[in-house]
Structure 1
Amino acid sequence: MSGRFRHCALILALAMASVLPTPAAAAPERDFAKKMNEALTQAAAAFGDAGVQAVALRNGRVLWSGTRGAAINEPRQPVTEGTMFAYASLSKLMLTTFVLHQVEQGALALDKPISAYVGDEVAGSRVVNLRMLLTHTSGYPDLYSDPATAPLFPPSAKYDPNRPYTFEQLKAGIREPVEPGARFAYSNTGYIVLGHVLTRTTGGDHGLRRAYQHFLQRAGTRQTPMTEHLVTMDRSPQALHRFAHGYSRQEDGSLQDFFTAYGAKGIPTDLYGLPFTDGALAGTALGAGLVLDAVFARGNLLRPDTVRRMTTPSPQSAANPDGDRTYGMGTSRTKSGGRTWQGHGGSYIGFTSMAGTDMARGVTIAVVVNRFQSQHPAETIWRKLTEVA
């Protein structure tokens, strides 16, 4: 072998040695995966054959992922890593990152009344601002219980899962805010108003979906590009073929399939997507995990000072005696496994979700489950995984 080829071979050998794990490095990874698999199996067993996806990441690298249970019960289809779930209110954190990016770019202002963007077409627009919407301090009453809009949703006999919703339909239940800015009160209505602001400033529903998906590409990695197979707002036929059905535990112990109970011919139109920006997104555990990892660990989506403002509890939440005292803008802190995690949970008919990042270590864990019941399956499983991670 010539000197030139010996030199090239040496370089190749050194390069391979630098990227391939040594047996000593691989052993802890196998041990970690074993413990996470055991924790997932143990925690998920409490929810029967519920479909579960879970993932742990660190600085863009997948440390572990696991699936369990059925995406659809009859005929049974197992959950895969590509199965999609509704994120419900976990979407609030994911949408907030886009809003704050728009603020960074000067397209939006946190403390300007939203009338600057929507005029007087929304109640309270001259006194409510984006900061209030993001921190749940806007004071908007709940539109889902308002007589004008409650019949549009299950279990009302007027509910139609195949009818597209519009903001105009929901606007009938958006009433004048009560003491805006005065106190923390978790508000789905506020986030629906927030979504309307975004559609006005990005060019309508299609403009918002396109702008958000373009922004989200920055959360992907070279190994895992961010696509609509991981996170989406669209209820497309392609998404339907990959979607888990959502199951809710009834009082008699039976499970109700949200996709069949009300005669849906596709994905129920209130499950996610516009105008429901209180729960706009669906996707995989990996998709949600990558977004949190990009925000809180890699810093790919927001500037460090913006993340600090986002994660700082608002004065109103800190003073709240009855609820979350740690809520910032679209995210809150929680203690689990002896560590502090920054994230969000979610639940809507048939689905629960939970994701959080230990910012001190750059570790993110995300869990999605197609089961809705009082124990909040996704959070229960997530907490068990944080004890191992």
Structure 2
Amino acid sequence: MRSRFVTCGLAVAVTALLAGATPALAQPAAPPVTQDAAVRQAMDRVLADGAVGVQVRTTRDGRATTATAGESVLGTSWPVPTAGLFRVGSVTKTFVATVLLQLVEEDRVDLDAPVARYLPGLLPDGDAITVRMLLQHTSGLFDYVKALPLDGAEFFDIRFRPYTPHELVSLATDRPLDFAPGTDWSYSNTNYIVAGVLIEKVTGRAWDTEIAERITRPLGMRETSAPRGSVFIPGLHARGYFPVDGRPVDVTELNPSWGGAAGEMISTTADLDLFLTALVDGRLLRPAQFAELTAARSFTDGYGLGALSRDTPCGKTVWGHSGGIAGYTTLAFTTLDGSRRMQASLTNGLGPDSEDVVYGIVDATICG
């Protein structure tokens, strides 16, 4: 789902250093910035950029640490819980793509088959759009999220409104395709709503049931779920906020059915780490399917099938997903060998607004 992201520099830190400057030869060498310090600096920048709170879990070479900053409730001194639950937004897509790739391995779904083979009549262009195009956002389907009132005070008109997958698909199919299927790339949540419907059609069970049976229960991810219409986060959590007329409004309770298979799930940093670890060590996908998940075409901006890549400043490439839904921003990334992993939840306030600041947490945790 969408996240709002504003550049935040290091002018204050630089000014402080220059204020007391003495000749270079008279100064001892500055100590290197440790990983913990780098992560803390990245977290502080996110708070300065408008987030209310942040929790970050980092695993480097077998050592896991969790850090938090900010407030769990705006205007209090209550700390962000280190094991708090949160809405993961579009990180849901990686779970959905994993299930579909398992169905590919079971010969129940063909990645290059048209969607109409499995869901006749659902999409006007279902004969031209393949399953692969759904997972890689190359279908051309209009993003239904753009048709929903998700900005400012208008969001409160739908905050508790339930949506069905077919309603969301209809919002998209009422509009023309953005481009001919397979000819371009554009991130569209509609693709994953259709993917969720496809999973149910093929298996006879809802997409979140398949995720539970195939992924979360076998891995012991006890805090991960899809709300199924519940407006509550079922456990200890920091509260999330939404900007309305320049002030943050608490939107922790909401009906996330408009996110569906594109962004409805709830989890924790520890659970997401279990998922990423199992994904890269081969417990969830065979090599051929994992290769599909991490294969980005030249025009897909580093996006594979339900996962995206990021080249960090230290030269390490990570794969995973980010996610945003009203009140929460999520990051979950790992190196392909699993040696460095990170998961983070940002509770939003008037920000964060800068993509560079948000992804700075990824860079600090992987490279620090």
Q: TM-score, normalised by structure 1?
A: 0.75
Q: Contact (CA 8 Å) 1:293, 1:362: kept in 2 or not?
A: no
Query: Unaligned 5+ residue runs, structure 2?
Result: 1-32
* Equivalent residue, structure 2, for 1:343: 320
In the superposition, relative to structure 1, how do residues 159 and 199 fare at CA in structure 2: closer, same or farther (>3 Å)? farther
Which residues of 2 match residues 15-30 of structure 1 at below 5 A? none
Distance 1:120 1:56, change over 3 A: same
Q: 2:275 aligns with which of 274, 287, 291?
A: 291
2:254 paired with 1:268? yes
In the other structure, the counterpart of 1:277 is 261
Q: Which residue in the other structure is 2:227 paired with?
A: 234
> How many Å separate the matches in 1 of 2:232 and 2:150?
26
Moved more, 167-176 or 136-145: 167-176
- In structure 2, the residue matched to 1:256 is 249
Count residues with an aligned counterpart. 325
Q: Is the 8 A contact 1:245 1:370 kept in 2?
A: yes
Whether the 8 Å contact between 1:52 and 1:67 is mirrored in structure 2 is: yes
AA partner of residue 310 (structure 1): L
Query: Where do residues 306-321 of structure 1 align in structure 2 (5 Å cutoff)?
Result: 306-317=289-300
Out of 288, 292, 301, the position equivalent to 1:305 is: 288
The 8 Å contact of residues 137 and 316 in structure 1, kept in 2 or not, is answered as: no
2:164 corresponding residue in structure 1: 166
Paired residue type of 1:165: Y
Matched residue, 1:72: 73
Q: Deviations over 1:182-230 (max 9, x none)?
A: 11111111112112212222335xx33222112114773xxxx321x1x
CA–CA separation in structure 1 for the residues paired with 2:169 and 2:275: 30
CA contact (8 A) 1:218 1:301 kept: no
Q: Distance in 1 between matches of 2:339 and 2:139?
A: 32
Q: Flag the structure with more relative contact order, 1 or 2, with Cα contacts below 8 A and sequence separation at least 6.
A: 2
Question: Aligned letter for 2:254?
Answer: P
1:244 and 1:160 map into 2 onto residues whose CA distance is 22
Cα deviation code 1:309-329 (max 9, x no counterpart): 221112442xxxxxx2x2111
Q: Does 1:143 align with 2:173?
A: no
**Aligned pairs for 1:23-102 within 5 A:** 35-46=34-45, 47-48=47-48, 50-57=52-59, 63-73=64-74, 77-102=78-103
Bigger shift: residues 371-380 or 122-131 = 371-380
Is 2:334 the counterpart of 1:357? yes
CA drift at 1:307: 1.2
Give runs of aligned pairs for residues 147-226 of structure 1, distance below 5 A.
150-151=148-149, 155-156=153-154, 159-175=157-173, 176-177=176-177, 178-204=179-205, 207-217=206-216, 220=219, 225-226=220-221
Aligned equivalents of 2:298, 2:269: Cα separation in 1: 32
What TM-score results when the alignment is normalised by the length of structure 2? 0.79
Q: Provide the secondary structure at the position in 2 that maps to 1:194.
A: helix
How far did residue 122 of structure 1 move?
2.9
Q: Which amino acid aligns with 1:279?
A: G
Q: 1:53 to 1:164 in 2, by over 3 A?
A: same
Using the alignment, how far apart are the partners of 2:335 and 2:145 within structure 1?
33
Name the SS of the counterpart of 2:306 in structure 1.
Answer: coil
Letter of the 2:342 counterpart: I
Question: How far did residue 139 of structure 1 move?
Answer: 0.4
Aligned-pair CA distance for 1:362: 2.8
Report what 2:239 is aligned to: 245
* Residue of structure 2 aligned with 1:333, choices 303, 309, 324: 309
Larger Rg: 1
Whole-angstrom distance in 1 between the partners of 2:163 and 2:326: 17
Query: CA offsets per residue over residues 211-266 of structure 1, 9 Å max, x none?
Result: 2112114773xxxx321x1x2112557734433322245674x433223xxxxxxx
* Alignment partners' CA distance in 2, 1:122 and 1:162: 27
Distance 1:381 1:151, change over 3 A: closer
Cα separation, partners in 2 of 1:162 and 1:76, compared to 1, 3 Å: farther
2:57–2:67 contact (8 Å) kept in structure 1: yes
Residues 40 and 384, structure 1, Cα contact 8 Å, conserved in 2: yes
Identity %: 25
Sort the Cα spacing of 1:121 and 1:251 in 2 relative to 1 into closer, same or farther, 3 A: same
What is the identity, as a one-letter code, of the residue corresponding to 1:42? Q
Query: What do the CA deviations read for 1:81-139 (whole angstroms, capped 9, x no partner)?
Result: 33111111222223211111111112211111112222203332222111000111000
Q: Deviations over 1:134-165 (max 9, x none)?
A: 1110001122223xxx2588642772322221
- Deviation for aligned residue 1:36: 4.1
Q: Secondary structure at the match of 1:199?
A: helix
Q: Is the 8 A contact 1:354 1:366 kept in 2?
A: yes
Kindly indicate whether the alpha-carbon contact (under 8 Å) linking 1:293 and 1:363 is maintained by their aligned counterparts in 2. no
- 2:233 alignment partner, SS class: helix
1:101 partner amino acid: Q
Equivalent AA in structure 1 for residue 249 of structure 2: Q
1:209 maps to a residue whose letter is D
Counterpart in the other structure of 1:5? none
